[in-house]
Chain A
């Protein structure tokens, strides 16, 4: 019985480090609360399991002599067993009550409503995330995709909607998950407590590329967040060099504009992710590839090799067009 325990400790140690998407690496009061509750449960339930195994081990000695009548019973012994078992059943009930109570208290804290400072509306679709920053002033709303930023220490509300099938929004370091269900709007609230980049992933099977529907949440100091927000609200910068200018022209002449929007240009398609500031994101294709000029080109030239079944069609481009478009997109910071 000792070897499994050693393995357990080693594996848990592994779990503690190098995690980029783990509920055991909390970065918000909500996630901390969940983390604490988790370890309390593990301790209590683990102790119970151990106690049952010990009782079983003790039970396997053989008090009855060989050849004893299997129907013979010792009334005194039976009564003692009865009392112990009744006590254990009651104890189980008490354990259930206590854990239910702890759980419910945490539930109320977790889903408590606090006035939010930032509101983001999520439209989950196969297989990417659209984020709309809502604002009382309509001219300050903007749309981005697959990565969103929030200020440290301010309450955030994320409204969850689905365009096609059921998805689930899950950034474990910040909060538990909630589903995006067509026909309903759910929501999640959290406060991020330290700056960093936190990864999330769709957690409800949604078809062929469910495995590649990741997202990033960047938590930054309030000033940095405001700067980011202003940049996002503004339209795309016009190209500064000739290669990027060529890229813009190629982009506008190809079917790209049927699905993608780049504000400040005639491209106004709404089916695919908004690309106005795509070059400033850390990843591409919903967390699948790191952002770089090379990866942009690789994605455009063969989306189905990277995410088989993705909704983006293959567009035939010659190498010059491809390179210039990739350069143009990379520059959209």
Chain B
């Protein structure tokens, strides 16, 4: 027995030996993060990283929103000279790319990173260093894109970057390369988080949390993570093929040498369709959580809701050709995709019905989170139904690539994801910060956003039906689109103002908001069983779960398990289906290697758009940082 092992045996302090405040103090010390820059760079605390992700995704939301405001100002009048075609093309590319890759997917992952470990009753997310790494890679990717934009080498080929327009012949220079490589950054980050969520949910649930006691939000982000694992590789392949065609002369998309422009579309949309469900699925989890808490009733149709999530996840992989209905592929094949695209309305509808039933049999409490969920119903159902219209091949040949489609996807994305996300912020802000957001400001925020959104985007259904195509920087007066565009611009400005109000509410409430306490909403899931904000170790003792809504079932005292170490980081690994405790899994300490590995990765990705050899020497650099990362530190994490 080595000396260190002997010391460990001597100081093997378990939580059975301590209680109350002393237990909390010791655990906080073991699990805490140092203050200052070093602490920030080395932390592996999922709550700190989750908060970072949230703040960063919202910064990107605001940047993309500003791009949209600029576009709307340009389109408010016919033949406006405010913004020329080059800048406009960059703006709509940055708007779409940022919203989809830097906000839409990462924000759902941000909520998951923060909440899943708390909701399943564990102390940290699985693979905490990978979690830290993924944040830095995500940040570097977003910075890379936006800095390129400000240096005038940002992309201008749309968020979907079709070839041949984005290929070497028609997009010379570095612009399309920044798009393609940013994808690599963000998809690496997204995949890493997805794997962490899957493993946390499968292996780190509190003892007793059987599959049918898993909270609906956790189901939603778990299934979503599986979709991410199988969908994101497609866009990595598409963007990598594009970079190779552009930089090293491959011919994958060059019809003159045996390639095919449509191969890009197939690869891109094979990712692109599941992508919108990747954005939507976490929002369904938020809706479930908010509906249950504010209807003060457990969810109606838990099994139906879970099966619907699974059905949506599977079906979402079978729809992608509906983005290609005008490319001239065989009509019979198209008809299959019409059927599948309409069929997904069934599981989506089933969720809506179950939520309405929960509200029907409950006692709705109209706090701001519920208001945003009601906004979600109004807007998302309309958007989903316009999607059924778009699923029809003949109808799509008229409205594809017009403002009708722009209206549709903003209805489903803003209604279906942004509104629930805003509601989720009002709901979980007390848990994240310990303070409540202002209800009064929240109501103003909701109504301004709701009215502004509908004014802006309803009119677009009509301008599309009046023949206005997408991605146009201007239009002539004779087209008679001016009035509708002005209406849309006014609505967009209202929506932008609502976000300013939101920001004000957040900043003000962080200073003077009412103190929240552990469970201000009287909710039933485990994240509300600990302090607001939670201590670094989440729970003084790991809970033992007996119900889907643990805090509603166990009103007097919370059952817990004991026996974990206090002086080392330890959590429970349990069985996949029944959550029987199996291991006391050591959890990694803070480390600088994830940050260094992210720097090495960032250098490799950025340099490789200038020279293919960067992949080789950058790869070697990454390998060195990975060895440092995985090299064992000594007793604490291994010997146990």
Contact = CB atoms under 8 A, between A and B. Distances in A.
Interface of A: 4, 7-8, 11-12, 14-15, 18-24, 33-34, 37-38, 41-42, 45-46, 48-49, 52-53, 55-56, 58-60, 62-66, 68-71, 73-74, 77-78, 81-82, 85, 88-89, 92-93, 95-96, 99-100, 102-104, 106-108, 110-111, 126, 160, 164-166, 168, 170, 172, 175-179, 181-184, 186-187, 199, 201-211, 288, 308-309
Interface residues of B, number: 94
A219 B521 CA distance: 67
A66 B389 CA distance: 42
A176 B396 CA distance: 8
A64 B296 contact: yes
Given A52-B352, A182-B255, 15 more contacts: A11-B458, A22-B465, A70-B362, A73-B361, A77-B361, A85-B301, A92-B346, A103-B394, A107-B338, A166-B162, A168-B326, A176-B398, A184-B262, A206-B165, A210-B469
B359 interface: yes
B395 A41 contact: yes
A38 B158 contact: no
A24 to B, nearest CB: 6
A23 B399 contact: yes
27 contacts: A8-B458, A14-B483, A15-B465, A22-B467, A41-B392, A52-B356, A59-B356, A64-B296, A69-B552, A70-B292, A70-B298, A70-B552, A85-B301, A92-B349, A96-B343, A99-B342, A99-B392, A103-B395, A166-B261, A175-B397, A176-B398, A178-B327, A181-B327, A205-B158, A205-B165, A206-B165, A211-B475
Given A23-B467, A71-B549, A92-B346, A203 B89 contact: no
Interface string B370-395: 00001001100110011011011111
A162 to B, nearest CB: 9
A233 B169 CA distance: 35
Contact of B480 (A19, A45, A78): A19
Contact of A45 (B170, B388, B397): B388
A203 B398 CA distance: 10
Contact of A70 (B89, B296, B389): B296
A178 B301 CA distance: 44
A246 B438 CA distance: 77
Contact of B328 (A73, A179, A210): A179
A65 B363 contact: yes
Given A34-B398, A41-B392, A166-B261, A104 B338 contact: yes
A210 B471 contact: yes
B363 A37 contact: no
B148 to A, nearest CB: 19
A49 B385 contact: yes
A41 to B, nearest CB: 5
B326 A41 contact: no
Interface of B: 84-86, 89, 157-158, 162, 164-165, 169-170, 255-256, 260-262, 292, 296-298, 300-301, 304, 326-328, 331, 334-335, 338-339, 342-343, 345-346, 349-350, 352-354, 356-357, 359-364, 374, 377-378, 381-382, 385-386, 388-389, 391-402, 454, 458-459, 462, 465-467, 469-476, 478-480, 483-484, 524, 547, 549, 552-553
B385 to A, nearest CB: 4
Contacts of B260: 183
Nearest to A186: B328
A183 B262 CA distance: 10
Give 3 closest A-B pairs by Cβ, nearest first: A176-B397, A183-B255, A21-B467
A85 B476 CA distance: 50
B458 A4 contact: yes
Contact of A81 (B328, B360, B400, B471): B360
B343 A177 contact: no
A205 B467 contact: no
Nearest to B166: A165
A300 B149 CA distance: 33
A308 B393 contact: no
Contacts of B339: 96, 100
A100 B389 CA distance: 10
Contact of A71 (B361, B377, B462, B547): B547
Given A181-B262, A308-B85, A168 B401 contact: yes
A211 to B, nearest CB: 4
B326 A71 contact: no
B312 to A, nearest CB: 13
A11 B164 contact: no
Contacts of A206: 165
A46 B480 CA distance: 26
A112 to B, nearest CB: 10
Given A103-B394, A204-B401, A56 B326 contact: no
A175 B345 CA distance: 28
B394 A107 contact: yes
Contact of A309 (B86, B300, B350, B361): B86
B368 to A, nearest CB: 15
B388 A288 contact: no
A37 B361 contact: no
Contact of A34 (B85, B338, B397): B397
Nearest to A181: B261
